[in-house]
Structure 1
Amino acid sequence: MSDIASVSLERPLEDIARDLGESFAEFGFGIVRDHGIPDDLVARAQAASEAFFALPEEAKRAYKIEGNAGARGYTPFGQEQAKDATVFDLKEFWHVGRDLDAGHPLARFMEPNIWPAEVPEFEPTMRELFNAFDASGSRILSAIAIHLGEAPDFFDSAIEDGNSVLRLLRYPPLPEDAPDGAIRAAPHGDINAITLLLGAEEAGLELLTRKGEWLAVSPPPGALAVNIGDMLERLTNHRLRSTTHRVVNPSGDAARRTRYSMPYFLHFRPDFEIAPLPSCIAEGAEGEAPEPILAHDFLMQRLREIKLA
């Protein structure tokens, strides 16, 4: 396959499974159109995100929660650092997570959301966007299950009440005093099962191919860039690729513009055991497969590596 697949989520699941599955195996990425997230909702979320990030620095920092690894609320500019990177990323962001009742058995893994009082429309809009992303992600995972030879509902129990996170990202105009080598997002792999990204039509997102070359990911306006995360790569014993990717710094007029995007990191349940699927392990190579690990333990391990925990 020579190009990243671009598919409509309105097509039959078997067709989506074939095209996306091949693209995920080769590139770790696919483009998804007709994903079911309404344009007006995306526009409202964009406006609410911009309104929050336009607040004074002191007001934004009031929503930074110490000791929660950035799982909810605001993470200031210069805080996150990619694994093995020597300088921080040039971005700030806000995290929205799943709402669980206090008595829910998984509530201890997920802190309550907080909301910026200065932007009243923020909470209802982001709750709606979170649920819309969740529904689209579930259908994509059904296609992935078919590609792997499993039933369409194979992942349903694994993601039920999963620890998914909606990230609202702001990359400010490039600062003149940025550390040498700092870019908007240094090369990294995502931790989760799959990532659904809105806003990638703005130039900058690149993936690292098998040949060691950087390839631009350029979905059409309104489409999703979807990529495999480390958890799903581990579950499939590397059959599906969690590809290294980055967001490079723009040049010219674009360097003086702010860039926004909205990735949704779809996670398994914290108590889900990520054990390589037998169908993805070659006979006689059982000892080479990754050891089973709980999704929560894997998440915390990776958060420590990127300086958020």
Structure 2
Amino acid sequence: MDLAEIPVLSLDTDREALPALIGESFRTFGFAMVRDHGIAPDLIERAWDLTREFFALPVETKMRYFKAGQGGARGYTPFRTEVAKGATEKDLKEFWHIGRDLPEGSPLGATMPPNVWPAEIEGFQETFTRLYAAFDIVGAELLSAIAIDLGLDARWFDPAIKDGNSVLRLLHYPPVSHDAGGAIRAGAHEDINLITLLLGAEEAGLELLGKNGQWLSVAPPEGAMVVNIGDMLQRLTNHVLPSTTHRVRNPDGDRSAHSRFSMPFFLHLRSDFPFVTLPQCITAENPDRYPQAITADEYLQERLREIGLIA
């Protein structure tokens, strides 16, 4: 398996050059790697400990936090529920979702249910509320760099993501059994949201589909996060910034007996954000692919149906 030669960028030392560097990486791979992101290592380590502790609970305990009819928006989603768009085999994973706590009386409340928290895990709510807020800050800084690269004001995305429907997902891929058939840990897919910030990709398995049609392994250095474009940003930029197909393959040899954990933060727009293609991304050679108006929530619901999380 060839390695994707994605440059590792620094949110600290590369700050002035970051817009051009991240833009180039996204246009080449749809992915970037970012270190010096500022999320405290002890907070991340505590989050990993609590993630492992939660998924080690009995299935019947975890199922108390499964909210039928919510499409997995909050709480627990059981093993082999989600399916990649167009796939026939459900993914070999289970996960937990943490969303934004909205201000009292927010008009967005109808599209963003309240969080649920596992009573069995001490410190879970406090730790992941802090981590969610930290991801929020890093995500806004990355979007600022993206905005500059696109010729927009540096804070263009700020109102678009204020009270946005972002989700922190705690992912557990259990050991792969011999009767998995054709199923893999995460089938080939593109993310729905604006950008995804991912911790935990140091464990082998994440792959992106290169422009030559070959799968490439994504291997960030320890402590760096992987960042990739989602379909919402691809739509907004009229495919100038492409959403790249990726997957998590099953491990080889002895690693198949081990769990894999990861922590993606899916950075979303406000639910009521109207998609209007950025004018600078429309040219005679690249006409507007999305002239029809749609809100971010309408788009999200459409995609959730495609991946089997809502009917």
Tell me whether the two structures share a fold, i.e. TM-score over 0.5: yes
| Residue number in structure 2 paired with 1:112 | 114
SS at match of 2:107: coil
* Counterparts in 2 of 1:287 and 1:166: CA distance versus 1, 3 Å: closer
Deviations 1:160-184 (CA, angstroms, capped at 9, x unpaired)? 0000000000000002222x21000
Aligned-pair CA distance for 1:286: 3.9
1:253 corresponds to 2:254? yes
Contact 1:13–1:142 at 8 Å: present in 2 too? no
Residues 207-222 of structure 1 aligned to structure 2 (within 5 Å): 207-222=208-223
Match of 1:145 in 2: 147
- For 1:53 and 1:91, locate their aligned partners in 2 and report how far apart those are by CA, in whole Å: 11
Aligned length: 307
Instruction: Indicate how the Cα distance of structure 1 residues 208 and 284 shifts in structure 2: closer, same or farther if over 3 A, else same.
Output: closer
8 Å CA contact 1:273–1:292 kept in 2: the answer is yes
Alpha-carbon distance change, 116 to 202 in structure 1, aligned in 2, over 3 angstroms: same
1:1-309 equivalence runs, <5 A: 3-11=5-13, 13-178=15-180, 180-283=181-284, 286=287, 288-309=289-310
Query: Does the CA-based 8 Å contact 1:237-1:290 persist in structure 2?
Result: no
**Per-residue CA shift, 1:12-51, capped at 9, x if unaligned?**
5441111110110111000000011110000000001111
Alpha-carbon distance in 1 for matches of 2:283, 2:292: 15
What TM-score, normalized by structure 2, do the two folds share? 0.96
TM-score by length of structure 1 reads 0.97
Q: 1:288 to 1:45 in 2, by over 3 A?
A: closer
For 2:139, what is the secondary structure of its paired residue? helix
Opposite residue 142 of structure 2, the aligned amino acid is I
CA distance in 2, matches of 1:290, 1:156: 24
Cα deviations by residue, 1:52-74 (Å, 9 ceiling, x for unpaired): 10101100001000100000000
Distance 1:284 1:78, change over 3 A: closer
- C-alpha change, 1:32 and 1:290, in structure 2 (3 Å) is farther
CA distance in 1, matches of 2:195, 2:36: 18
For 2:262, the aligned partner's letter is S
Query: Which whole-Å CA distance do the structure 2 matches of 1:11 and 1:145 have between them?
Result: 19
Structure 1 letter corresponding to 2:41: D
Question: What displacement does 1:3 show?
Answer: 2.9
Rounded to whole Å, the distance in 1 between the matches of 2:188 and 2:205 is 12
Looking at structure 2, the residues matched to 5 and 165 of structure 1 have their Cα atoms a distance apart, in angstroms, of 26
1:281/1:289 contact within 8 Å kept = no
Q: Which amino acid aligns with 2:298?
A: D
Any unmatched runs of 5+ in structure 2? none
Helix, strand or coil for the counterpart of 1:273? coil
> Does the 8 Å CA contact 2:11/2:37 hold for their aligned counterparts?
yes
Residue 283 of structure 1, CA deviation: 3.5
- 2 CA distance for matches of 1:240 and 1:293? 19
- CA distance in 1 between counterparts of 2:185 and 2:18 reads 32
Measured after TM superposition, the shift of residue 231 of structure 1 is: 0.1
Percent identity (aligned): 57
Equivalent-residue separation in structure 2 for 1:288 and 1:161 (angstroms): 28
Aligned-residue offset at 1:289: 4.2
Deviation at 1:293, TM superposition (A): 1.6
